[in-house]
Amino acid sequence: MFWKKTQAPAIPSRDIVRHFNEAAADEENFPSTIDPRIYHVQLILEYLGDLNAKRVLDVGCGKGRFARVLAERYPRAFIVGLDLAEAMLHHVPAGVGACAGSMTALPFPSGVFDCAYATESLEHAVEIEAAVAEMCRVVRPGGRIVIIDKNSKQWGRLKTPQWEKWFGRKELEKLLERHCRKVSSRPISYWEDVAPDGLFLAWLAER
């Protein structure tokens, strides 16, 4: 283990933790695996590059379905999945570190990771500015960050819990630009060969 294990920080919302601990039993809507052909996966692999011997953080990992693909592709990577819900972390695959904690107070030293990503998890952070700052803090200078989440212009298309927040492109670009030297964003689709319908956005940053 390449970080010193610490007491998990205070949880910002018991309701959110309870929601996802209960959701861990729902394999249909919260699966443990993901099709590696999905463009969300392909974009992370493409942008982060060769991860062997790299330290990677999956922020809001759930059951570790993205981390599972990365670990299979890069067996010499050091991958850690962080999530609020300990019941979710019970499903994280062997070979991936599991850490309970909050996105707004990551229990890791500054600059310890080579890269980090958050896939449809920032929307649950509540304190978005703090979560983005923390994600950037734990990535070393020159390291890369990927955030994939839903577009605020599409709000209402899906049923959401009361705390969930979707984002505009410029909104997250500005937050990332406070900590990163390169930031870009673009609409993406769930599948590479299907044109984006506006629901998903991807933000790519370099510290």
Write the DSSP symbol of residue 10.
Answer: P
Nearest to 33 by CA among 118, 117, 91: 91
Looking at residue 192, its pLDDT comes to 87
| All structural domains of the chain with their residue ranges | 14-206
Greatest CA separation for the chain: 44
Per-block mean pLDDT, blocks of 10 residues, the chain (207 long): 48 80 93 96 98 98 98 97 96 96 96 98 96 98 98 94 95 98 97 93 98
H/E element holding 87? helix 86-89
CA dist., res. 24 & res. 60, Å (int): 13
Dihedral, 14, 99, 56, 138 alpha carbons, nearest 10: 70
CA dist., res. 147 & res. 131, Å (int): 11
**pTM of the predicted model, to two decimals?**
0.93
The amino acid at 56 = V
Provide the CA 8 distance to its chain's centre, in angstroms: 18
Provide the CA 125 distance to its chain's centre, in angstroms: 11
Q: How far lies 63's CA from each of 27, 79, 87, 194, in Å? A: 10, 13, 9, 27
H/E element holding 201? strand 200-206
Task: Map tokens 């609409």 to a residue.
Answer: 187
Nearest to 179 by CA among 148, 138, 207, 140: 207
100 touches 10 (CB < 8 A): no
Instruction: Tell me the CATH number of domain 14-206, given options 3.90.440.10, 3.40.50.150, 3.10.310.10, 3.30.470.20.
Output: 3.40.50.150
CA dist., res. 205 & res. 136, Å (int): 9
The amino acid at 99 = C
Write the DSSP symbol of residue 135.
Answer: H
For 139-148, b where at least 16 C-beta lie within 10 A, e where not — what string? beeebbbbbb
